């Protein structure tokens, strides 16, 4: 697997983002993640967006982080918010998400962020299991979905 840094508006990022939104629709029956994201949110040094490519140069996994500091949505100074972690269906179960998560954590740590935070939903048990097995613990809710019952927030010190 070859992990590359790209912009959030790169054509491969847009393609995978469309796929993750379609999966959210299947799981939750709504229009997908309504969190506002700007491509500039992921520009270094305040964030990064990564895509993993297979041996045929096909985009198969994605993820990014963006800087967050204390705000009225519940973030704390030094947060790196994990966004758009996704592996295409036929590549799941091969450790790609775990490798992507490790790469994102290292990048955020090198950028001086002190805590990785994320929000996921109750209908994503695979994601919850990945984060729990990677050292993430439940934290105070934050972000767009903080008032939703099915929203689960996790954090890990970097």
Phi (first) and psi of residue 62, to 5 degrees: -150, 160
Q: What does the buried/exposed string (b/e) look like for 62-77 if buried means 16 or more CB atoms within 10 Å of the residue's CB?
A: bbbbbbbeeeeebbbe
Structure tokens at 40: 């500039």
Instruction: Give the pTM.
Output: 0.94
Residue 9 scores a pLDDT above 80: yes
Share of the chain above pLDDT 70, in %: 99
Contact criterion met (CB below 8 Å) for 97 and 87: yes
- The CATH number of domain 2-157, selected from 3.40.630.30, 3.60.15.10, 3.30.450.40, 3.40.50.1820: 3.40.630.30
CA distance 126 to 137: 15
Q: How confident is the model at residue 29 (pLDDT cuts 50, 70, 90)?
A: confident
Mean pLDDT of 49-58: 97
Structure tokens at 155: 């954090």
Comparing CA positions, the residue from 143, 154, 127, 149 lying closest to residue 34 is 143
Per residue in 89-148, pLDDT tens?
999 999 999 999 999 999 999 999 999 999 999 999 999 999 999 999 999 999 888 888
User: Would you state the pLDDT for residue 141?
Assistant: 94
Per residue in 66-84, pLDDT tens?
999 999 888 899 999 999 9
Starting from the edge strand earliest in sequence, which strands make up the sheet with 151-157, in order? 2-5, 47-53, 59-68, 79-87, 115-121, 151-157, 137-138
Contact criterion met (CB below 8 Å) for 115 and 68: no
Domain segments of the chain: what residues? 2-157
């Amino acid at each position: 697997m070859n992990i590359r840094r790209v912009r959030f508006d790169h054509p491969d990022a847009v393609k995978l983002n469309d796929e993750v939104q379609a999966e959210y629709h299947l799981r939750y029956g709504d229009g997908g993640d309504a969190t506002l994201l700007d491509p500039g949110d992921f520009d270094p040094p305040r964030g990064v967006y990564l895509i993993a490519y297979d041996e045929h140069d096909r985009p198969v996994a994605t993820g990014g982080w963006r800087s967050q500091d204390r705000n009225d949505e519940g973030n704390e100074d030094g947060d790196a918010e994990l966004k758009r972690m996704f592996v295409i269906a036929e590549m799941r179960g091969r450790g790609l998400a775990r490798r992507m998560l490790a790469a994102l954590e290292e990048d955020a740590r090198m950028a001086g962020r002190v805590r990785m935070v994320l929000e996921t939903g109750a209908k994503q048990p695979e994601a919850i299991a990945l984060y729990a097995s990677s050292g993430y613990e439940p934290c105070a809710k934050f972000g767009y979905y903080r008032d939703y019952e099915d929203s689960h927030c996790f954090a890990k010190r970097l």
